[in-house]
């Protein structure tokens, strides 16, 4: 392999965002006919790197070389023209159009009078679909296909150009086992055609099954490349986590109280099944798992946003039904949601109004909102959480991610909940605010709150949790106490392969 020209080479890529060096001199290369895994925790810089490769971000330093040509790309279209093709996790298809039209979107073959040359379109599409050995034809409406088959359409798009490198971003997240087999066949086929493949996944089983080499990113740095045949899960995990975690594991040093929330056999359709756990006052329970494992859906059910299809919820030992978020709040449950901008905040509103929103009906002076009381609440939590803003009139949309998140947390703390659920509390937040929020979560527990933390970042769950619930595919695989848990057995439990070994 070494005497070949790489299909795609990255040299010293640097990309910074205000306050963050998202990619710091990242270099690695993919050979033609090689499947190269790219691994790293969430926040390690994988998605930034992919956006650089896709022409969405421009790197400040470094070169991207396709074949022997250094290239500069300023749009996804250009990236495709240079032979770099993406298979995105989120599908970008026009569901009302046919398979053929989607594959050749923007490039429909033309005849006279602007007519579509259907014959040619279908002939070309059939050829590509033949290569993929799929069970649908070119004239099927994309909206009628299963998610897996829609993904096949995305893949088929990659085959319309002379691709030098194809990047798969978590392609199996929504696939069944049978569908995965088909996908892996496709990857083999691309390999045989000399295409270089970058394969992003958290799932160890797949990594060992199909990749040739593995490169690891951590904190925006390139950490090394391993040859798949010569390595094992422990070595990869070690490289991904790297540092001796200076984050001390936290067994609580304070009294753990009574059970505040108990869930028995809770199910919601296909989203999650037979979930049982409890949270005590003064305790932080971490939920760890891959995206789509059902963690957020559990939180939404507890907050009255979803109707459970079975099981029961007990608050302070009393069985209860939660009808709506307003109901959940009245019963002492608060949720700091996953999507800060979409669900947590009203970006066009000022800081004070966002913070007091859940209790605005209770802060009254006559018929009007008691603005003095509101400002007092805002000031109190601004000081307590160290929210940096010029004043309460500032629109929340103008704050940094960390300060925005503190507004959301302040909003719920000011309601004095019994159970606080925090979903991905530090996603997209700079390092400084991150540790502040971690400390805050610990502090809340010591004050007697029952806290649930949902996170996809292992150091985070390890650091803040007294117990950790590992989920995979809608089920609880195992609940770890902080004495039992190790990085290895945790990562293996949520990858869904070695649950027998972990248990």
Partner 1 sequence: MRPSNLSGVGTFLAKQGILVAFALFMIGFTIANERFLDPDNIMGVIRSSAILGVMALGVTFVVISGNLDLSVGSMMSFATIVVLDLHDKIGPTLAIPSMYAMVLCLGALIGFLVGYLKLNSLIVTLGMLSAIHGLTLTYSGGKNMDIADKEGTWFSVFGQSDALGIPVPILIFALLASVLGLALAKTPFGRKVYAVGGNGTAATFSGIRRARVVFTCYLASAFCVGTAGLLQASRSLGSQNTVGQGLELEVLAAVILGGASLLGGSGTIFKTVIGVLILGFIQNGLLLVGLQFYAQYVVTWIIIILAVWLDIAAKRGKLWSPIA
Partner 2 sequence: MEPGTLSTFLKRGAIWGFIVLELIFFSVAGEYLSLSDKAFMDLDNMLLLFKQSAPIGIIAIGMTIVMINGNIDLSVGATFALSAVVLLDSMTWPIFAGLGDGVIPIAWGLALMTGMLLGALNGLIVWKTGVDAFIVTLGAMLGYRGLVFMYNGEQPTSHLNWTLVDFAEAQFLGLHTATWFLIAVTAAVWFVMNRTVHGRNAYAIGDNRTAAINAGIRVGPHMMINFMIIGFLASLSAVVFYSESGSVNPNDGELYELWVITAVVLGGTKLTGGAGSVLSTLGGVLAIQLLRKGLGHIGADTETVNLVIGLILIAVLFLDRQLNLKGREELRI
Closest by CA to 309, choosing from 277, 271, 264, 269, is 269
The whole-angstrom separation of Cα 438 and Cα 448 is: 16
| 332 touches partner 1 (CB under 8 A) | no
Binder of residue 113, out of partner 2, partner 1, none (CB less than 5 to 8 A by kind) = partner 2
Nearer to partner 2, 92 or 439 (CB): 92
Q: How many residues bind partner 1 (CB under 8 A)?
A: 28
Nearer to partner 2, 304 or 417 (CB): 304
What is the nearest approach in angstroms of partner 1 to the Cβ of residue 369? 6
The whole-angstrom separation of Cα 243 and Cα 235 is: 13
In the sheet with 35-39, reading across from the earlier edge strand, the strands are 69-71, 61-66, 8-17, 20-30, 221-227, 213-218, 35-39, 196-200, 165-169, 84-87
Binder of residue 402, out of partner 2, partner 1, none (CB less than 5 to 8 A by kind) = none
C-beta of residue 359 within 8 angstroms of C-beta of residue 415: yes
Binder of residue 255, out of partner 2, partner 1, none (CB less than 5 to 8 A by kind) = none
Closest by CA to 438, choosing from 448, 424, 419, is 424
DSSP per residue, 407-467: HHHHHHHTT--SEEEEESTTTT--HHHHHHHHHHHHHHHHTT-EEEEEES-HHHHHHH-SE
What is the nearest approach in angstroms of partner 2 to the Cβ of residue 325? 9
Residues forming contacts to partner 2 in the complex (CB under 8 A) are 75-77, 92-97, 101, 105-108, 110, 113-116, 268-271, 300, 304-307, 309, 324
For β-strands 475-481 and 221-227, DSSP reports them as unpaired
Nearer to partner 2, 260 or 263 (CB): 263
Tokens coding 121: 């379109």
| Touching partner 1, residues 348-377 (CB under 8 A) | 348-349, 353, 357-358, 360-361, 363-364, 367-369
Binder of residue 108, out of partner 2, partner 1, none (CB less than 5 to 8 A by kind) = partner 2
Binder of residue 361, out of partner 1, partner 2, none (CB less than 5 to 8 A by kind) = partner 1
* H-assigned helices in 159-287: 177-192, 204-210, 233-241
The whole-angstrom separation of Cα 94 and Cα 87 is: 15
Nearer to partner 2, 267 or 482 (CB): 267
What is the nearest approach in angstroms of partner 2 to the Cβ of residue 104? 9
What are the C-alpha distances in Å from 187 to residues 70, 366, 440? 26, 68, 45
Nearer to partner 2, 113 or 368 (CB): 113
Binder of residue 373, out of partner 1, partner 2, none (CB less than 5 to 8 A by kind) = none
Neighbours of 233 (CB within 10 A): 17
Binder of residue 348, out of partner 2, partner 1, none (CB less than 5 to 8 A by kind) = partner 1
What is the nearest approach in angstroms of partner 2 to the Cβ of residue 437? 25
Nearer to partner 1, 122 or 412 (CB): 412
What is the nearest approach in angstroms of partner 1 to the Cβ of residue 373? 12
What is the nearest approach in angstroms of partner 2 to the Cβ of residue 302? 13
The single residue listed with the structure tokens 């439990």 is 493
Tokens coding 375: 């400002």
Binder of residue 349, out of partner 2, partner 1, none (CB less than 5 to 8 A by kind) = partner 1
What are the C-alpha distances in Å from 492 to residues 159, 191, 238? 34, 28, 13
Binder of residue 437, out of partner 2, partner 1, none (CB less than 5 to 8 A by kind) = none
Nearer to partner 2, 351 or 454 (CB): 454
Sign of the C-alpha dihedral computed for residues 473, 474, 475 and 476 taken in this order: positive
What are the C-alpha distances in Å from 197 to residues 29, 209, 413? 10, 14, 47
Nearer to partner 1, 324 or 486 (CB): 324
Nearer to partner 2, 300 or 353 (CB): 300
Binder of residue 176, out of partner 1, partner 2, none (CB less than 5 to 8 A by kind) = none
The angle formed by the CA atoms of residues 61, 66 and 72, to the nearest 5 degrees, is 45
Nearer to partner 2, 231 or 267 (CB): 267
| Touching partner 1, residues 399-418 (CB under 8 A) | 411
What is the nearest approach in angstroms of partner 1 to the Cβ of residue 410? 13
Binding site for partner 1 (CB under 8 A): 303, 305, 324-326, 328-329, 335, 337, 342-349, 353, 357-358, 360-361, 363-364, 367-369, 411
């Amino acid at each position: 392999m070494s005497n070949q020209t790489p299909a795609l080479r990255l040299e010293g890529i640097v990309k910074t965002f205000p306050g963050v060096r998202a990619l710091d001199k990242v270099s690695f290369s993919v050979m033609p006919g090689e499947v190269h895994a790219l691994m790293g925790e969430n926040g390690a810089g994988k998605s930034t790197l992919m956006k650089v490769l896709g022409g969405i971000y421009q790197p400040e330093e470094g070169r991207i070389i396709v074949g022997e040509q250094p290239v500069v790309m300023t749009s996804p279209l250009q990236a495709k023209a240079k032979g770099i093709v993406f298979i995105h996790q989120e599908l970008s298809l026009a569901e009302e159009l046919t398979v053929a039209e989607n594959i050749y979107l923007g490039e429909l073959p033309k005849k006279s009078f602007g007519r579509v040359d259907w014959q040619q379109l279908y002939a070309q599409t059939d050829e590509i679909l033949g290569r993929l050995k799929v069970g649908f034809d070119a004239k099927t409406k994309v909206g009628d296909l299963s998610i897996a088959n829609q993904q096949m359409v995305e893949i088929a798009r990659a085959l319309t150009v002379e691709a030098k490198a194809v990047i798969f971003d978590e392609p199996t997240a929504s696939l069944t086992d049978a569908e995965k087999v088909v996908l892996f066949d496709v990857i083999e086929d691309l390999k045989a055609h000399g295409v270089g493949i970058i394969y992003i996944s958290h799932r160890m089983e797949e990594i060992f099954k199909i990749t040739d080499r593995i490169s690891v990113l951590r904190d925006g740095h390139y950490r090394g490349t391993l040859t798949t045949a010569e390595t094992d899960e422990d070595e990869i995990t070690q490289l991904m986590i790297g540092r001796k975690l200076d984050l001390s594991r936290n067994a609580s040093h304070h009294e753990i109280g009574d059970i505040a929330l108990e869930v028995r056999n809770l199910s919601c359709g296909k989203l999650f099944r037979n979930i049982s756990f409890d949270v005590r006052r003064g305790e932080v329970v971490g939920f760890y798992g891959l995206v789509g494992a059902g963690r957020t859906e559990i939180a939404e059910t507890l907050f009255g946003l979803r109707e459970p299809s079975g099981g029961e919820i007990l608050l302070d030992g009393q069985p209860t039904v939660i009808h709506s978020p307003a109901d959940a709040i009245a019963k002492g449950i608060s949720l700091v949601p996953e999507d800060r901008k979409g669900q947590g905040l009203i970006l066009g509103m000022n800081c004070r109004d966002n913070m007091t929103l859940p209790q605005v009906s209770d802060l009254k002076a006559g018929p009007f909102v008691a603005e003095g009381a509101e400002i007092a609440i805002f000031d109190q939590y601004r000081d307590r959480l160290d929210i940096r803003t010029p004043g309460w009139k500032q629109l929340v949309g103008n704050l940094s991610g960390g300060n925005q998140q503190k507004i959301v947390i302040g909003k719920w703390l000011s309601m004095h909940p019994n159970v606080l659920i925090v979903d991905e509390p530090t996603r997209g937040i700079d390092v400084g605010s991150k540790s502040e929020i971690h400390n805050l979560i610990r502090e809340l527990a010591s004050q007697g709150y029952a806290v649930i933390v949902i996170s996809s970042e292992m150091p985070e769950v390890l650091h803040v949790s007294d117990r950790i619930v590992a989920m995979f595919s809608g089920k609880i695989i195992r609940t770890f106490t902080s004495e039992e848990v190790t990085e290895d057995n945790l990562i293996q439990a949520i990858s869904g392969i070695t649950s027998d070994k972990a248990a």
